[in-house]
Amino acid sequence: MIELLPWSSDDLWAVERFLSDPEMMKHLGGPQSREQVVDQHARYLNTAASGTGQMFKIVLSPASDAIGNIGYWDKTWREELVYETGWMVLPEHQGRGYASAALRLLVEWLRNDHVHRFLHAFPAVTNGPSNALCRGAGFTNLGEFEFEYPVGHPLRCNDWRLDLSVQQRASSP
Ligand SMILES: CC(C)(COP(=O)(O)OP(=O)(O)OC[C@H]1O[C@@H](n2cnc3c(N)ncnc32)[C@H](O)[C@@H]1OP(=O)(O)O)[C@@H](O)C(=O)NCCC(=O)NCCS
């Protein structure tokens, strides 16, 4: 069973493992430098502090070490304020439904308490597991678009959207 716990200052090692792993980062512009890792960790912490979202670590209850992360944050998208979400699960824990379970928890949390109506996810079109995750959680694919992530790396992404104001039934696994 998994739980979502708020990202904390002790979790730098986890973001370092995520972002420096070439396999984890193959759909995200490749591995990042130590400086980028530290910067990303600070942004994860700042998301909650600034009240614009929340990054969580995914833990296997009752342990408290991160096996992955998931979060949401404000984003202006096509001139509308929406939430964006993103996720990662460490390679040795992948393929066991943990990201799907984490997304279910996040959506449940946001359905109960949200300011914006829509939650978007923008996985690369080549990111099979992330696109499957969106489909399984009941998101609608609004189509492909060209993006830059990180800066300087063109990325073709899907625009998946979930309406938080509508109770939807996720497709069965
Ligand atoms: C995306 C990621 C978080 C998925 O984690 P996970 O815990 O292995 O995911 P799950 O076990 O919950 O499986 C998710 C879905 O992906 C599917 N899947 C797994 N590998 C797949 C593949 N190679 N191609 C297509 N679908 C695949 C699973 O079957 C499942 O779909 P289903 O529920 O319809 O059967 C993990 O692969 C990851 O961390 N990737 C690197 C980081 C990344 O790309 N993050 C996304 C940024 S948007």
Output the 3-class SS for the chain.
CEEEEECCHHHHHHHHHHHHCCCCCCCCCCCCCHHHHHHHHHHHHHHHHCCCEEEEEEEECCCCCEEEEEEEEEEEECCEEEEEEEEEECHHHCCCCHHHHHHHHHHHHHHHCCCCCEEEECCECCCHHHHHHHHHCCCEEEEEEEEECCCCCEEEEEEEEEECCCCCCCCCC
Atom 48, ligand 1: which residue's CA is nearest?
123
pLDDT value at residue 171 = 53
Atom 5, ligand 1: which residue's CA is nearest?
99
pLDDT value at residue 169 = 59
pLDDT value at residue 173 = 44
pLDDT tens digits for the chain (173 residues)? 999 999 999 999 999 999 999 989 988 888 999 999 999 999 999 999 998 999 999 999 998 899 999 999 999 999 999 999 999 999 999 999 999 999 999 999 999 999 999 999 999 999 999 999 999 999 999 999 998 877 788 889 999 999 999 876 555 44
Q: Which of 15, 103, 133, 145 should be mutated for ligand 1, with most atoms under 8 A from CB?
A: 133
Q: Say if strands 66-77 and 80-89 run parallel, antiparallel, or are unpaired.
A: antiparallel
Ligand 1 contact, 103 CB (< 6 A): no
CA 68 – ligand 1 centroid, Å = 12
pLDDT value at residue 147 = 86
CA 131 – ligand 1 centroid, Å = 8
